[in-house]
Structure 1
Amino acid sequence: MSKSILGLDKKESANLVDNLNGLLSNFQIYYQNLRGLHWNIKGKNFFELHVKFEEFYTDSQVKIDDIAERILTLQGKPLHTFTDYIDNSSVPVGKDISEDVEAVNLVVNSLSELLKIEREILDLSDEANDEGTNSMMSDFIAEQEKTIWMLNSWLGK
């Protein structure tokens, strides 16, 4: 078993890098969806949602950078083209959404998809004894679960 400079198994780290690049791709699609929702939202909830979507995309921007830097820390290379992001994502793409309920549902569905990916990475990072990635995923998961609860409350679910 070959170890990296971080003391982690190189094969397990390479697998984590691949999965983190998938998460990075999905976050980039999620981020762009949020920008579109922020720009295009209309109706009686405009002011509330316009601000909320900006809060979400600002937070996503930080997470995107954190994921890319974790990939680099694990001695990998973060994906950085839109082609790569589209090819490696499962988060739904939201186009021309301006209605409040549809917009919030897109965010909830996107976060649900991100949670699936993050939980897979959490399991892999646990098996690899990669506390840095594990901690990051735990933080993301806890925050996103709360956001889903709050958005579902807004939706009346």
Structure 2
Amino acid sequence: MASNLNLIGLDKKASQELSEKLNELLANYQIFYMNARGFHWNIKGEKFFELHMKFEELYNDSLIKVDEIAERILTLGYTPLHTYADYSSLSKIKAAKNISNGKEAIQKILEGYEVLLPLERELLEMSGDSNDEGTNALMSDYIREQEKLIWMYSAYLNQ
């Protein structure tokens, strides 16, 4: 194997750049996850049961994505970030504290997708350019899922 290729046959420099961007996505997902968890715990009001379940689905899905992203970074030959200090300093999504209003929580979720979706599209392009089908497929799946969720959450807010 050529010295400029990693263990899975991809260019080391491109894999490093992808891993750095994946770590940025990972940091944002960790904060997104914590926000969804907080919304689940703290939601109140008329739509409590509906939103409590929806936020649980969201944080469970986010937890799976966090693991997939970290494992993809490892597969590319690099180390995923794993401290909250790293996450909070790198994440563009900010922690949402003490939100119990459903519409406010959903607005924060939509704001999170405004950060996640462009990062995923950037990773989709980067992975396509470097022939990294594993990262490409992951990002393609995330984008498709989130575009539908954005439509659904926006419809809930009558946007």
TM norm structure 1: 0.98
Quote the RMSD (CA, aligned, Å).
Answer: 0.9
Give the Cα separation in 1 of the matches to 2:127 and 2:39: 33
> C-alpha displacement at 1:55, in angstroms?
0.4
Report the identity percentage: 53
Give the Cα separation in 1 of the matches to 2:19 and 2:68: 13
* 2:5 maps to amino acid: K
> C-alpha displacement at 1:5, in angstroms?
1.7
> C-alpha displacement at 1:93, in angstroms?
2.0
Give the Cα separation in 2 of the matches to 1:88 and 1:121: 16
The DSSP-based 3-state class of the residue aligned with 1:108 is helix
Bigger mean CA offset, 87-96 vs 143-152: 87-96
Q: Give runs of ≥4 in structure 1 deviating > 6 Å.
A: none
1:9 paired with 2:11, answer yes
Give the Cα separation in 1 of the matches to 2:25 and 2:155: 26
Which runs of no fewer than 5 residues in structure 2 stay unpaired?
A: none
1:141 paired with 2:143, answer yes
> C-alpha displacement at 1:6, in angstroms?
1.2
* 1:148 maps to amino acid: I
Match of 2:155 in 1: 153
Match of 2:38 in 1: 36
Give the Cα separation in 1 of the matches to 2:18 and 2:131: 11
Question: Is the contact made by 2:70 and 2:80 (CA closer than 8 Å) also made in structure 1?
Answer: yes
The DSSP-based 3-state class of the residue aligned with 1:142 is helix
* 2:34 maps to amino acid: Q
Question: Is the contact made by 2:16 and 2:78 (CA closer than 8 Å) also made in structure 1?
Answer: yes
TM norm structure 2: 0.97
Which runs of no fewer than 5 residues in structure 1 stay unpaired?
A: none
Name the count of aligned residue pairs. Answer: 157
